Amino acid sequence: MQDSRIYLDNYTVLEKEWLNPTFYRLRLDASTIAAVARPGQFVNVRVTPTCDPLLRRPLSIFRVHRQSGWIELLVKLVGRGSRLLSEVQPQEQLNLLGPLGHGFDLETCDTALVVGGGIGIAPLVFLIEELIALQRSVMVFLGFRHQKEVCCIGILKNLPLHLEVATDDGSVGFNGLVTSVLENYLQTNSLSDSTCIFACGPTPMLKKIDSLARRFSLPWQFSLETFMACGIGACMGCAIPAANGSDYKLVCKDGPVFSNGQVKING
């Protein structure tokens, strides 16, 4: 059962590393969050010590080391908030609220097909490391636009898993969409009854995976990326249509991880 404890505190930055021209990694001394965080959860980060920008930024928990008490965040440089956050230096502090949200359910899956697109890899490395700790069989499929965006391969190559990489321009790995690599795998391999898919990435990728999951009768879970404000379900700013067409789900509270059939994948 997922731990419900949430912490609001200042945490010290231990490391900052640029992994490519647009992705950077932050490691924070956050033992309280590390102790209870689960794959797929996120933290809401105040990117400066002031109230400018006013809203916190939701960031997936990228990695956790419970014994050492640190967590890592993976950030893509896309706007003012991520640019300001990129200026933080080791030994400075960031104010975090978390862990927040509903994470991945790892209980019913013995063979995991993990699919990430671009910055969608952010919640998946923590997931992969937890699956391996549970001695699950793990296949990883990662898609990026081009070589300069490729991220985290070094971390994953040190783990006991099978890794496939695709780039839109063919500069690394398969030339094309990562969903094409996944589809080929599903077509050419026998699948156990306990095979499931975990995914995070752009909406077109998720829609294609949803189609493949239906076609091959596979359960799947996906983490949604969307704009948020409060992160705790109070402002209703991240509401999305439920699959039944009449209700709504809150990405920050009911998600960000959903199972097939819970919400509509729009876009």
The CATH number for 192's domain is 3.40.50.80
Q: Give me the domain span that covers residue 55.
A: 7-100
- CB-CB contact of 209 with 219 (8 Å): no
Residue 1 is predicted with a pLDDT of: 60
Residue 259 in domain: yes
Instruction: Tell which of 100, 128, 162 closes a domain.
Output: 100
Element (H, E) at 83: helix 80-85
User: Do 202 and 238 share a structural domain?
Assistant: no
Instruction: Tell which of 40, 70, 100 closes a domain.
Output: 100
120 or 233: whose pLDDT is higher?
120
Main-chain phi, psi angles of 94, to 5 degrees: -125, 145
Is pLDDT at 238 greater than 70 in this prediction? yes
**Secondary structure of residue 196 in the 3-state scheme:** strand
User: Do 126 and 41 share a structural domain?
Assistant: no
Per-residue pLDDT band at 209 (split at 50, 70, 90) = very high
Residue 118 in domain: yes
Residue 34 in domain: yes
Residue 105 in domain: no
Mean pLDDT, rounded, of the chain: 93
Q: How far is CA 136 from CA 4, 37, 112, 176, in A?
A: 25, 20, 7, 28
Residue 145 in domain: yes
- Per the rule left: phi > 0, alpha: psi between -120 and 50, beta: everything else, 98 is left
What CATH number is given to the structural domain containing 256?
A: 2.10.240.10
Residue 2 in domain: no
Per-residue pLDDT band at 145 (split at 50, 70, 90) = very high
Domain count for the chain: 3
User: Do 192 and 257 share a structural domain?
Assistant: no
Is pLDDT at 198 greater than 60 in this prediction? yes
What CATH number is given to the structural domain containing 59?
A: 2.40.30.10
- CB-CB contact of 125 with 67 (8 Å): no
Per-residue pLDDT band at 261 (split at 50, 70, 90) = confident
User: Do 136 and 89 share a structural domain?
Assistant: no
User: Do 190 and 216 share a structural domain?
Assistant: yes
| Whole-number percent of the chain with pLDDT over 90 | 76
User: Do 79 and 170 share a structural domain?
Assistant: no
Residue 1 in domain: no
User: Do 207 and 181 share a structural domain?
Assistant: yes
Element (H, E) at 162: strand 162-167
Instruction: Tell which of 220, 237, 252 closes a domain.
Output: 220
Per-residue pLDDT band at 233 (split at 50, 70, 90) = confident
Burial 151-186 (b: 16+ CB within 10 A, else e): bbbebbeeeebebbbbbeeeebbbeebbbebbbebb
Residue 106 in domain: no
